[in-house]
Amino acid sequence: MDTKEYIASGILELYVAGTLSDIENLEVYLNAQKYPEIKKEIEAIEASVLSLSGTVSPGTKGFGDIRNRIAKEGASLTDEKKNKVSWTAYLGWAVSLIFMAGLIWLYEQNNQLISDIEVVSLENITLEQQIADSEISLAKTEELLTTIRDKNITVVPLGGQTVSPTSYAKAYWNKHEKKVFIDAQGLPNPPDGFVYQVWSLKLNPLTPTSMGLLEDFMEDDNKVFALANPNESEAFGITLEPAGGSAAPNLEQLYTLGVATS
Amino acid sequence: MELDQIVERFQKKDTAAFEKLYNMYSENICGVINTIVQNTNVAEEICQDVFMKAWKNSESYNVSKGRFFTWILNIARNAAIDEIRSKSYKNSKKNLSADYFVGILESKENNESGSEDTIGLKKLLLNLKEKCVQIIELLYFKGFTQKEVSKELNIPLGTVKTRNRSCISQIRNNLAL
């Protein structure tokens, strides 16, 4: 680079005046770093501007004034800082206390909710059990209903006999499927060690054939018992027999009897 | 110590370095402000504010962007112009160009010689034409751009640069006498 030409262009005077663009400023700065004569020229220009501006100076208040102002600002700055710190500290404590209280409250609420949930889920289990039971019961009832509504069913009412005149029962006889459902709702609970036994009867001559026992009579809720009946029954009878049943009916303990009409 | 080092220390909030810079430039900065606000008391006050501003914003100075003097000169000009605007001075740059600087120089020239202030002034202004004083005032003290100077003095843009150089050179020659 021709530094003389560069210097003569007058760009350095403008550099000192501060009227160049940022890029031009950077360029001059780099050239001044590179070429000592450019740096020297800049310093000389600055010196002449300084000497000129110095001539119109009204004088200065001196650096003592500046020193005081710095000290003052420093002091007020520290004060501000102190105040700021304590103020933020108070605020911080207040916020953390509120936060703590909130946390405790939330914790309590949470515990309450957890125990509520436990209670509810227990209730829920119970209710589900009940529903399941009900469903099973319903299913059984529906099954029963379907069974007794079957068109092949013959209903045989069994009336109370001498031993127990108020007793009654009904036999739902599905000849097609060779099954009989005994509705024993109207029979009293059998005494301990005894069981009801159902008999299929041929009337002429009187020939009883055991169809089975009404086992677990007390435990059975709907008191409907399904029994197989391959016989050409003309009547049905229910007797009270010792536990395990008997080979032949004890007719003295005949509770109910009914004749199949068809 | 080199100027760059002093400035660096100043930027690290070294008051001793700051004092050095103050002593180097405060007279000149106050002088420039005085040419704008045209009131010595106000100029002194603003001058101190300018140095405080420089102190607080010292980190914003970057050596690659220009001379330290140029940086603080710019702060001073802006502060002075803000002042006269806030005081609802007539505030266009055109009005700023009223040749106060020339006036001050002339009044000082006419003062009885021997007073400390004027020592060297006559020497400084020896052979310096009025158009030189004008262009220097506009560029250095008022912060005009080349374009604005060209318009103000009604001279071609290219002439601003060369005329300014020859004017500064004249002062340099006078200084060297």
B169: CATH: 1.10.10.10
- Is B24 part of any domain? yes
Test mutation, A33, A55, A61, chain B, max B CBs within 10 A: A55
Report the pLDDT value the prediction gives residue B123, as an integer from 0 to 100.
Answer: 67
Residue type, position A88, single letter: T
Q: pLDDT band for position A37 (50/70/90)? A: very high
Which of helix, strand or coil describes residue B47?
A: helix
Same domain membership, residue B108 and residue B73: no
pLDDT at B128 over 90: no
Looking at the complex, report in whole angstroms how far the Cα of residue A53 sits from the nearest Cα belonging to chain B: 5
Report the pLDDT value the prediction gives residue B119, as an integer from 0 to 100.
Answer: 44
pLDDT at A181 over 70: yes
Residue B28 touches chain A, beta carbons under 8 Å: yes
Q: pLDDT band for position B91 (50/70/90)? A: very low
Same domain membership, residue B107 and residue B79: no
Q: How far, in Å, CA of A99 to CA of A26, rounded?
A: 55
Residue type, position A33, single letter: Q
Same domain membership, residue B106 and residue B69: no
> Are A55 and B25 a contacting pair at CB < 8 A?
no
- Is B129 part of any domain? yes
The chain A residue lying nearest B55, using CA atoms, is: A70
> Are A48 and B171 a contacting pair at CB < 8 A?
yes
pLDDT at A237 over 80: yes
Q: Does residue B110 or residue A149 have the better pLDDT?
A: A149
Q: What is the pLDDT of residues A7-23, one digit of tens each?
A: 999 999 999 999 998 88
Same domain membership, residue B142 and residue B103: yes
Residue A19: list chain B partners with CB under 8 A.
139, 143-146
> Are A18 and B74 a contacting pair at CB < 8 A?
yes
- CATH for B74: 1.10.1740.10
Residues A197, A202, A208: CA angle, nearest 5 degrees: 30
- Is B67 part of any domain? yes
ipTM: 0.84
> Are A63 and B101 a contacting pair at CB < 8 A?
no
Same domain membership, residue B106 and residue B62: no
Count of domains for chain B: 2
Q: pLDDT band for position B121 (50/70/90)? A: low
Same domain membership, residue B164 and residue B108: yes
Q: pLDDT band for position B93 (50/70/90)? A: very low
Looking at the complex, report in whole angstroms how far the Cα of residue B150 sits from the nearest Cα belonging to chain A: 13
Lowest-confidence segment of A6-10, A192-196, B107-111, B122-126 by average pLDDT = B107-111
Q: What is the pLDDT of residues A198-224, one digit of tens each?
A: 999 988 888 899 999 998 888 887 888
Which of helix, strand or coil describes residue A254?
A: strand
Same domain membership, residue B142 and residue B107: yes
Residue B22: list chain A partners with CB under 8 A.
63, 66
Phi, psi of B149 (to 5 degrees): -65, -45
Report the pLDDT value the prediction gives residue B105, as an integer from 0 to 100.
Answer: 63
Q: pLDDT band for position A147 (50/70/90)? A: confident
Under a CB-based contact definition with an 8 Å cutoff, are residues A232 and A189 in contact?
no
Same domain membership, residue B108 and residue B65: no
Q: How far, in Å, CA of B68 to CA of A150, rounded?
A: 114
Selecting from A47, A51, A67 the residue whose C-beta is nearest the C-beta of B15 gives: A67
Residue A74: list chain B partners with CB under 8 A.
none
Looking at the complex, report in whole angstroms how far the Cα of residue A88 sits from the nearest Cα belonging to chain B: 25
In this prediction, residues A49-74 reach a mean pLDDT of 85
Residue B40: list chain A partners with CB under 8 A.
58-59
Same domain membership, residue B79 and residue B113: no
Residue A29: list chain B partners with CB under 8 A.
63-66
Residue A8: list chain B partners with CB under 8 A.
165
Same domain membership, residue B171 and residue B145: yes
A255's tokens = 């509770």
In this prediction, residues A225-236 reach a mean pLDDT of 89
In this prediction, residues B119-143 reach a mean pLDDT of 77
Residue B136: list chain A partners with CB under 8 A.
49, 52
Test mutation, A49, A53, A70, A77, chain B, max B CBs within 10 A: A53
Same domain membership, residue B135 and residue B167: yes
DSSP symbol at A190: P
- Is B41 part of any domain? yes
pLDDT at B116 over 50: no
In this prediction, residues B111-127 reach a mean pLDDT of 55
Report the pLDDT value the prediction gives residue B1, as an integer from 0 to 100.
Answer: 67
Lowest-confidence segment of A69-78, A251-260, B119-128, B155-164 by average pLDDT = B119-128
B56, B86, B116 — which closes off a domain? Answer: B86
Interface size, chain A vs chain B, as Cβ–Cβ contacts under 8 Å: 154
- Is B55 part of any domain? yes
Q: Does residue B106 or residue B21 have the better pLDDT?
A: B21
In this prediction, residues B9-24 reach a mean pLDDT of 92
- Is B91 part of any domain? no
B86, B111, B130 — which closes off a domain? Answer: B86
- Is B150 part of any domain? yes
Same domain membership, residue B66 and residue B17: yes
In this prediction, residues A82-100 reach a mean pLDDT of 80
Report the pLDDT value the prediction gives residue B118, as an integer from 0 to 100.
Answer: 43
Residue B65: list chain A partners with CB under 8 A.
22, 25-26, 29
Under a CB-based contact definition with an 8 Å cutoff, are residues A155 and A172 in contact?
yes
Looking at the complex, report in whole angstroms how far the Cα of residue B88 sits from the nearest Cα belonging to chain A: 23
Using alpha carbons, list the distances in angstroms from residue B36 to A21, B56, B62.
Answer: 24, 24, 26
The chain B residue lying nearest A69, using CA atoms, is: B52
In this prediction, residues B39-54 reach a mean pLDDT of 91
In this prediction, residues B63-84 reach a mean pLDDT of 90
- Is B60 part of any domain? yes
Under a CB-based contact definition with an 8 Å cutoff, are residues A22 and A28 in contact?
no
Domain that holds residue B50: 3-86
Report the pLDDT value the prediction gives residue B100, as an integer from 0 to 100.
Answer: 59
B86, B109, B136 — which closes off a domain? Answer: B86
pLDDT at B114 over 50: no
